[in-house]
Amino acid sequence: MNRSTASLLALALLLAMAISTPAQIDLDQKIESNIHDWVGTYKFLHEHPELSTQEKETSAVVASQLKKMGYDVTDHFGQYNSGLAAYGIVAVLKNGTGPTVYIRTDMDALPITEKTGLPYASKVREKRPNGEVGVMHACGHDLHMTVFLGTAKMMIESKDQWQGTLVLIGQPAEETIGGASAMLKAGLYKRFPKPDYVLALHDSSALPTGIVAWHSGPMLAGADSVDITIRGYGGHGAAPNLTKDPILIASELVVALQTIVSREMNPLVPTVVTVGSFHAGTKHNIIPDDAHLQLTVRTMTPSQRETVLAAIKRITNGVAETAGVPSDRMPIIEIATDNVPATINDPALTARVAVGLEKSLGKENVWPGDPIMASEDFSLFALEDPKPPISMFWLGAVDPTKWKEAKDKGIHLPSLHSSEFAPLPEPAIRTGVKAMTGVATELLKK
């Protein structure tokens, strides 16, 4: 090292110290002394995943750690529409007068057989009628829980830096949608302090560790499932003129549905209409009576959703009519009731989240985030009275070396819900705890 490099380094160090407040330096030290334990918690949770609605042991781990820290914990909170009890957790910490901030983690895993080859890979198997399937934290909810517990600890240890009420919620059954509504219906906002803000983070398979990203407005799409039964009338495959072939009508419909996105919707507002399932017929020479299609529809606003669903009905009936389907055999169109609305990050709250992130991580580590067309029931926390503002941000989870290599060489990286998705735990947890603690402290500052 020559003299000018040394003095440059000294200057950089001085600058870093000048930017970091004593509270931030203190938080960094606390995080370093806990990081080893947190990586242990992460690996344990990763190795012991539980499917949606079955998070018994997972929620017990989370609840017991929160109790040990000194939170007032209610567990087994929530009830599903089926009447089944949910493994929801609500942990409250009152620290003087001030706003009430909710922080939410999800807890469930997915029916995927893990192929990461990691020493702490899940070996959990679930018996199904048609064989066995693996269970895996392939969406990173294990990372979310670890960051959540780390934040819980840091907020307790920095109680003198903030005032107000902190409510930490462990939500079950996110992947199957149902956990958030199970907790809200059980009176989450009535039995516990009313929220002023609700926060969450989700790990990202598109961002490197060390980076977080926020996005104001719609961040995740609303999702609807639509079932369509095309009814014709069947007969011999050699005499199609005596039938009304539902396979041909349904095929035309699959193509016609593509015009909703390409020709009816505003190209500046993302919309998805996917036909994910097409079932009809039993044999080569039989024209069946009906054909079944299953669609997923992704939209960003309620009015856009109405437009797309109305277009699906209009086009479906129109295609059947054009084919000469008699009026008593018109298609049956069913829109599932377990739809989930878009996750819309409140702009005013998100602006404050961005400030908290930049203060805790430095501007260069806080990127503009992209919305995606996946869905979440986090959206529901904004719709229950008192309809609090919500905001979710992305937490980078990819090994930065692999991320850069993938970017430079165009290599595919495993995405969320992939059997090969493997976050780099230590830096992701460190950044996540720093970020969420920073944001909560910003909202609860004295």
Per 3-state DSSP, the chain is made up of helix, strand and coil in percentages (nearest 5) of 40, 30, 30
Rounded Cα distance, 366 and 394, in Å:
10
Smallest distance from Zn ion to CB 110, Å? 7
Q: Which residue is nearest to Zn ion (CB)?
A: 139
Comparison of 124 and 139: residue with beta carbon closer to Zn ion: 139
Residue located via tokens 């110290």: 17
Q: Which amino acid is at 142?
A: D
Smallest distance from Zn ion to CB 215, Å? 16
367 to 396: interface string for Zn ion, x by CB under 5 A:
------------------------------
**DSSP letter at 262?**
I
Q: Within 10 A of 332 (CB to CB), how many other CB atoms are there? A: 13
Smallest distance from Zn ion to CB 106, Å? 6
Of 57-65, 131-139, 162-170, 237-245: span binding Zn ion (CB under 5 A): 131-139
DSSP states along 133-149:
EE-B--S-HHHHHHHHH
CB-hemisphere CA count at 13 Å for 165?
18
Comparison of 108 and 196: residue with beta carbon closer to Zn ion: 108
Smallest distance from Zn ion to CB 281, Å? 34
Q: Which residues pair with 273 in a beta bridge?
A: 297
Smallest distance from Zn ion to CB 264, Å? 29
Smallest distance from Zn ion to CB 256, Å? 31
Smallest distance from Zn ion to CB 416, Å? 6
Residue closest to 245 by CA, chosen among 147, 353, 319, 342: 319
Comparison of 139 and 422: residue with beta carbon closer to Zn ion: 139
- 212 forms part of the interface with Zn ion (CB under 5 A): no
Comparison of 139 and 353: residue with beta carbon closer to Zn ion: 139
Of 133-141, 164-172, 225-233, 345-353: span binding Zn ion (CB under 5 A): 133-141
134 to 173: interface string for Zn ion, x by CB under 5 A:
-----x----------------------------------
Q: What's the length of the chain?
A: 446
| Number of residues this chain uses to bind Zn ion (CB under 5 A) | 1
Rounded Cα distance, 396 and 322, in Å:
50
Where in 63-102 is the site for Zn ion (CB under 5 A)?
none
Comparison of 307 and 419: residue with beta carbon closer to Zn ion: 419
Query: Distances from the Cα of 433 to the Cαs of 33, 165, 210, 394, in angstroms?
Result: 13, 18, 11, 13
Comparison of 232 and 423: residue with beta carbon closer to Zn ion: 423
CB-hemisphere CA count at 13 Å for 302?
2
Q: Under the rule (CB under 5 A), what is the footprint of Zn ion?
A: 139
